[in-house]
Structure 1
Amino acid sequence: MLQATTFLNRKALYLRPDPARVIVRPFKPATEPRDLNPTDKTRANHIVDRVLALDSEAVTGQLADVLENFQGRHRNLLATFEARADVMEQALSAHGTFSTVQRQLIGAYFLHEYSFEASALFNPSIVPHPDQSDAPKGGLRFILSLRATGEGHVSSLTFRVGAIAADGSLTVDPTARLASSPRISRRVTGPEGDCIELTFNSDEELSERVIFPVTESQSNGIEDARFVEFRDGDRKTYYATYTAYSGRAIRSELIETSDFTSFRMTPLKGAAAGNKGMALFPRKIGGKYAMIARQDNENLYLIYSDDLYTWDGGEAILKPEFPWEFVQIGNCGSPIELDEGWLLLTHGVGPVRKYSIGAALLDKSDPSKVLARSREPLLRPEPSEREGYVPNVVYTCGAMRHNDQIILPYAVSDTFSNFATIKISALMQAMKN
């Protein structure tokens, strides 16, 4: 039996959801339950008419009251109110002209606060920070991505920054008090859906930045981003596959960035993109991009492609073999390159839908060859980790190597996150045995 206690060390660095972290989102009043006569006005028009009926003193007073209540909770509220009014320009044009204060107040009526991590903060992945200027001596700065879930089980993408010290100890920076959404700097509509470019203000802390669903395919969630630092020659790009959920259908999409300030989100094409859980290798293999994916809800496949955005075919390389994974297996993030081969962390689902984390070692030049595999989980829910939104689950969307250790952030019962470290040499020996 694989004795995880000999090489795996759980930390007590808990990242828990904080309902006080809020962003403002568009608010759309529900329509009347009965069909309205084409000449009738919608509820939105009724709200606008009521604002216009206020005298200038009342409008100014109402706006001041809104600012007093919400100014300390968000950045640039007046600009946000105006931007919301701009989006509604076509609907507002029927009402004639507005003063600036009226537009700002109307914008406020069509926004609402959303506590984006009120329910859960889970399924993390980890990559080196692109800026290592403040890294501890002999250590490393890292960026952690997390899936945040709020009201209505809508998931978004949020971040934390932390550091690994020379002795392997971990710290995570305090979270920014505010949270901000990016602006859409470009939108291109294609046959597979919208390609979106998002930009945050560079003066916002990374933990302040929240990527909320912005397309129809993502409308019910951006789920389980698997970030990886991808190298192509001297060029370094951070990619992440994630699951876009519309409320009716899922598909895999790709997010890419070089600085975690500007992001591009692109739908993936091909038969393999219709499923979740795709993970990109950190470099090309044999001149091709490579992915680990689960195409049949049960087994893990290796897929190659000349095109980063199109994924078809594939070869099944790992199938459920041991009792802790008899229901299904999947990847737990991008493969990690070691001297011995590609370390692929996996998740397995066993009796009573219990999720555990295991590992496989793939050949470095031909990852379809499985060199070793953990017969028992590396990480399984401890008694203190069994309770939560989805009980009996430990899960990760990506780990990272630093010196002789694997840094493994992992989620607990789809509720909060923690860290573990793994000694590489001991893991390799245990897997061979």
Structure 2
Amino acid sequence: MRHPLRPIEGTPLHTTFLNRQALHLRPDPARVIVRPFKPATEPRDLNPTDKTRANHIVERVLNLDAEEAARQLADVLENFAGRHRNLLETFELRADEMEQALAAHCRFTSVQRQLIGAYFMNEYSFEASALFNPSIVSHPDQSGTPAGSLRFILSLRAVGEGHVSSLTFRTGTIASDGSIDVEPTVRLASSPQIRHLVPGPIGDEVELAFRPDHDISERVIFPVTASQSHGIEDARFVEFTDGGRKTYYATYTAYQGTAIRSELIETGDFISFRMSPLHGTAARNKGMALFPRRIDGKFAMIARQDNENLYLVYSDDLYRWEGGQVLLKPQFPWEFVQIGNCGSPIELEEGWLLLTHGVGPVRKYSIGAALLDKCDPSKVLARSSEPLLRPEPSEREGYVPNVVYTCGAIAHNDRIILPYAVSDTYSHFATMKVSALLQAMS
């Protein structure tokens, strides 16, 4: 049995292991997408015989003479030039929805269609408020990466107007010496095309696709289904290997406004995505994290069904999760309120490294760790009695004070690369030497 994680030679644990990088990712309100604007009543709920605000807007546009309509459209295009891709095409698609929903007898000219589409769109600054709760995985394309380096994809939770969360991405490189570089974002941002949507008894399954020629930092996954309508929160991405095939999965919290549940997103290339609801008693809460491979032929998750403890859950079906056994309970003062996982377990030679978060006095969030047996993850080999990471004085201020949090780290060479959020506002990076961590755990 290993001893609890402890500091070396009396040095405070969180300063012994951590090397904070001089790198911050902050929200940028200038990054915008266009979203449907729905005045008063959702178009799908409209009765064509009723007069609503939407009908009134359409009628006002149709009453413009051709010259004035063209002038108004030109003004819109000039005003928003360079801010979005394919605005006219976007307006046309939105006009299709309005034409079907509002009045069957109305048929729009090309200019009227585009102008009506513009009136039923609005810009949304998707990361105006926060850019936080990151997770990190290796990039599927490592071509041209220097020896000893690793290209990665970082997922982040972006929050904008109305506290609606969406999913956005960055790419970067971990150098052989552990230094981290994140590529700058491109100027534009865009939403994916909905290729397929299948209604289900507990939720919809959706297939999305971005254009391959759009930079990954341009891609924004905004809520699509009713269960996600108020947010796609805290995606925990993991590179999953099964029979030699690699797939990127992420569990996330779908927030409907009054209820939450766990859902799953999967992709092989970060261009096409499938989003599916998770079933079962173990999928009713937030904070699920998938192991990066099967264990004894079964899928395995770390979950938190009761808002307090961590559970180990197995399933023959990636989409149904039932029951589970308690794995970790709050034990140390910094986690007395509750504990949760901080992303998928990381496979080391010595076992599964599970990063955890704990909530202590004055709702202070810190990050700790546990080491699980590689063959039987229900066996806890070691556990941190003190946090690895806690809010520094410079990291305590933000939307939610006194919080450090991550949705997933990665092992590269001899280091753990830990992206983490600061006070639910912006994101930062730290690294830890695996050897030092394991030495303290032995």
TM tier, smaller: over 0.9
Distance 1:37 1:139, change over 3 A: closer
CA drift at 1:87: 2.0
How many matched pairs? 429
Letter of the aligned partner of 1:17 in structure 2?
A: P
Distance 1:38 1:81, change over 3 A: closer
CA drift at 1:7: 2.2
**Which whole-Å CA distance do the structure 2 matches of 1:20 and 1:309 have between them?**
37
Letter of the aligned partner of 1:316 in structure 2?
A: V
User: 189-198 vs 281-290, which deviates more?
Assistant: 189-198
Q: Once the two structures are superposed, what CA deviation does each residue of 1:307-339 show, in whole Å capped at 9, x if it has no partner?
A: 000000100010000000000000000000000
Determine if the alignment matches structure 1 residue 41 to structure 2 residue 51: yes
Name 1:313's counterpart in structure 2.
323
CA drift at 1:93: 3.8
Name 1:237's counterpart in structure 2.
247
CA drift at 1:428: 1.1
Letter of the aligned partner of 1:390 in structure 2?
A: V
Determine if the alignment matches structure 1 residue 205 to structure 2 residue 215: yes
CA drift at 1:398: 0.1
Distance 1:71 1:37, change over 3 A: closer
CA drift at 1:22: 0.3
Q: How does 1:18-417 map to 2 (within 5 A)?
A: 18-30=28-40, 40-417=50-427
User: 275-284 vs 187-196, which deviates more?
Assistant: 187-196
Distance 1:254 1:38, change over 3 A: closer
Letter of the aligned partner of 2:130 in structure 1?
A: A
CA drift at 1:6: 2.3
**Which whole-Å CA distance do the structure 2 matches of 1:39 and 1:205 have between them?**
44
**Is the contact between residue 280 and residue 290 of structure 1 (CA under 8 Å) also seen in structure 2?**
yes
CA drift at 1:39: 5.3
**Which whole-Å CA distance do the structure 2 matches of 1:273 and 1:230 have between them?**
19
- SS of the residue 2:25 aligns to: coil
**Which whole-Å CA distance do the structure 2 matches of 1:193 and 1:310 have between them?**
13
**Which whole-Å CA distance do the structure 2 matches of 1:54 and 1:134 have between them?**
56
Letter of the aligned partner of 2:281 in structure 1?
A: A
Letter of the aligned partner of 1:254 in structure 2?
A: L
User: What is the TM-score when the length of structure 2 is the normalising length?
Assistant: 0.95
**Which whole-Å CA distance do the structure 2 matches of 1:430 and 1:109 have between them?**
61
CA drift at 1:91: 2.4
- SS of the residue 2:107 aligns to: coil
**Is the contact between residue 336 and residue 344 of structure 1 (CA under 8 Å) also seen in structure 2?**
yes
CA drift at 1:40: 4.5
Q: Where does the alignment leave 5 or more consecutive residues of structure 1 unmatched?
A: none
**Which whole-Å CA distance do the structure 2 matches of 1:56 and 1:376 have between them?**
71
Q: Once the two structures are superposed, what CA deviation does each residue of 1:106-145 show, in whole Å capped at 9, x if it has no partner?
A: 0000000000000000000000000001322220100000
Name 2:10's counterpart in structure 1.
none
- SS of the residue 2:54 aligns to: helix
**Which whole-Å CA distance do the structure 1 matches of 2:322 and 2:439 have between them?**
35
**Is the contact between residue 346 and residue 358 of structure 1 (CA under 8 Å) also seen in structure 2?**
yes
**Which whole-Å CA distance do the structure 2 matches of 1:291 and 1:394 have between them?**
23
CA drift at 1:98: 1.2
Q: Once the two structures are superposed, what CA deviation does each residue of 1:48-88 show, in whole Å capped at 9, x if it has no partner?
A: 00000001111111111000011210000000000111122
CA drift at 1:18: 0.2
**Which whole-Å CA distance do the structure 2 matches of 1:52 and 1:245 have between them?**
38
**Is the contact between residue 123 and residue 414 of structure 1 (CA under 8 Å) also seen in structure 2?**
yes
**Which whole-Å CA distance do the structure 2 matches of 1:313 and 1:13 have between them?**
41
CA drift at 1:96: 2.3
Q: Once the two structures are superposed, what CA deviation does each residue of 1:10-37 show, in whole Å capped at 9, x if it has no partner?
A: 11210000000000001011259xxx99
Q: Where does the alignment leave 5 or more consecutive residues of structure 2 unmatched?
A: 1-5, 8-12
Distance 1:145 1:396, change over 3 A: same
**Which whole-Å CA distance do the structure 2 matches of 1:25 and 1:38 have between them?**
23
**Which whole-Å CA distance do the structure 1 matches of 2:54 and 2:401 have between them?**
42
**Which whole-Å CA distance do the structure 2 matches of 1:220 and 1:31 have between them?**
17
**Which whole-Å CA distance do the structure 1 matches of 2:106 and 2:56 have between them?**
14
Distance 1:67 1:254, change over 3 A: same
**Is the contact between residue 99 and residue 107 of structure 2 (CA under 8 Å) also seen in structure 1?**
no
CA drift at 1:8: 1.4
**Which whole-Å CA distance do the structure 2 matches of 1:28 and 1:91 have between them?**
12
CA drift at 1:4: 2.8
CA drift at 1:92: 4.2
Percent identical residues = 80
Letter of the aligned partner of 2:51 in structure 1?
A: K
**Is the contact between residue 136 and residue 164 of structure 1 (CA under 8 Å) also seen in structure 2?**
no
**Which whole-Å CA distance do the structure 1 matches of 2:429 and 2:200 have between them?**
40
- Structural RMSD (CA): 1.4
Which of 4, 17, 21 matches 1:11? 21
Distance 1:368 1:132, change over 3 A: same
**Which whole-Å CA distance do the structure 1 matches of 2:108 and 2:97 have between them?**
15
**Is the contact between residue 134 and residue 427 of structure 2 (CA under 8 Å) also seen in structure 1?**
yes
Distance 1:88 1:38, change over 3 A: closer
User: 251-260 vs 92-101, which deviates more?
Assistant: 92-101
